[in-house]
């Protein structure tokens, strides 16, 4: 196999923490900057002796995912699945292109399925009104996105086109959807939330409170950790997601999920902590209408 410039960069990811010239994080950031756009990278941590945040940074920057392999004996099956999924990615260079009118401001663009991922900082300007958000290669799958656009105020009853979202594959626009804004004085209409948005924000909050809980554990703040995991249990209950509830139960005993009553476990396995960490951002489509 002939070497390519990015094959060397891929290998240097492994050595990113061994340079004596720069700090480990500086070396990692520099390596990721060189790799960006050259290949997609899924990351796996084996056992407990690794940092989820470090692998998540690599996976997020290189448009892949991160997961835990509990035992070395599971490596073969996991890597076989990774290769099958990689070979099934028939569409490369998929981007969301977002157009917004003059005076509008993009507050955020987030992927919500199959993982929660904030794409806002990935924006590459196409022109004064459009920007592209890289999403990597796709296989036979469904992905969902949540975006927020702030527009200048108008009078009650007025409507406007607040945005256009285009699916761009290898530079070609394949589909487009419009984002409409309407001003109303009806409080019931203005406060009603779309069920899909409710689920998207629920999964986003779940991932956030889990990360806060894990951070509190590392800081030795049991009280804050318990409160955050209690909130995670409430969200899992509201989402009716048994997988998320099982994740929370790795680190606390859930007494009453609806009210958020939990008890800390006396001894939590480090592998369970890492499983909760890596799984907290993964989501599923649940009882949703067509695409």
Domain boundaries, the chain: 10-87, 91-185, 195-279
Query: pTM of the full predicted structure?
Result: 0.83
* CATH T-level fold of 195-279: 1.20.120
Whether residue 28 contacts residue 16, with contact meaning beta carbons closer than 8 Å, is answered with yes
* CATH T-level fold of 91-185: Immunoglobulin-like (2.60.40)
CA of 145: how far to CAs of 63, 95, 199, 274, 286, in Å?
Answer: 15, 12, 12, 26, 15
Residues 6 or more apart from 234 whose CB is under 8 A from it? 257, 258, 259, 260
What is the pLDDT, as a whole number, of residue 194? 85
pLDDT tens digits, residue range 160-219? 999 999 999 988 999 999 999 999 999 888 888 888 899 999 999 999 999 999 999 999
Whether residue 43 contacts residue 59, with contact meaning beta carbons closer than 8 Å, is answered with yes
What is the pLDDT, as a whole number, of residue 285? 65
Q: Are strands 172-182 and 105-113 parallel, antiparallel or unpaired?
A: unpaired
What residues in the chain have per-residue pLDDT under 50? 1-7, 17-19, 288-291
Is there a cis peptide before residue 105, judged by omega within 30 degrees of 0? no
* CATH T-level fold of 10-87: Rossmann fold (3.40.50)
What is the pLDDT, as a whole number, of residue 39? 85
- Alpha carbons within 13 A on the beta-carbon side of 80: 5
Tracing tokens 């480990």 back to the chain, one arrives at: 24
What is the pLDDT, as a whole number, of residue 289? 45
What is the pLDDT, as a whole number, of residue 131? 98
What is the pLDDT, as a whole number, of residue 38? 83
């Amino acid at each position: 196999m002939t070497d390519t410039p990015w094959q060397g960069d891929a290998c240097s990811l492994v050595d990113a923490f061994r340079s004596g010239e720069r700090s480990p994080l500086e070396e990692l950031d520099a390596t990721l900057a060189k790799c960006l756009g050259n290949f997609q990278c899924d990351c796996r941590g084996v056992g407990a002796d690794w940092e989820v945040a470090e692998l998540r940074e690599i996976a997020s920057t290189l448009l892949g995912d991160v997961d835990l392999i509990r035992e070395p004996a599971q490596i073969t099956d996991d890597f076989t699945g990774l290769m099958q999924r990689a070979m099934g990615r028939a569409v490369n260079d998929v981007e969301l292109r977002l157009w917004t009118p003059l005076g509008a401001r993009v507050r955020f663009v987030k992927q919500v399925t199959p993982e929660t991922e904030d794409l806002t900082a990935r924006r590459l300007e196409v022109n004064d009104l459009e920007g592209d958000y890289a999403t990597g290669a796709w296989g036979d799958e469904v992905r969902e996105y949540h975006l927020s656009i702030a527009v200048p105020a108008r009078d009650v009853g007025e409507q406007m086109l607040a945005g256009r979202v285009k699916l761009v594959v290898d530079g070609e626009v394949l589909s487009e959807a419009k984002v409409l804004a309407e001003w109303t004085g009806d409080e019931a209409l203005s406060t009603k939330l779309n069920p899909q948005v409710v689920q998207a924000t629920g999964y986003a909050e779940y991932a956030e409170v889990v990360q806060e809980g894990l951070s509190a554990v590392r800081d030795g703040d049991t009280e804050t950790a318990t409160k955050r995991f209690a909130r995670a249990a409430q969200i899992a209950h509201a989402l009716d997601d048994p997988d998320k509830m099982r994740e929370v139960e790795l680190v606390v005993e859930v007494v009453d999920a609806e009210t958020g009553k939990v008890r800390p476990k006396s001894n939590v396995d480090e592998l369970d902590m890492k499983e909760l960490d890596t799984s907290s951002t993964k989501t599923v489509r649940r009882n949703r209408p067509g695409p």
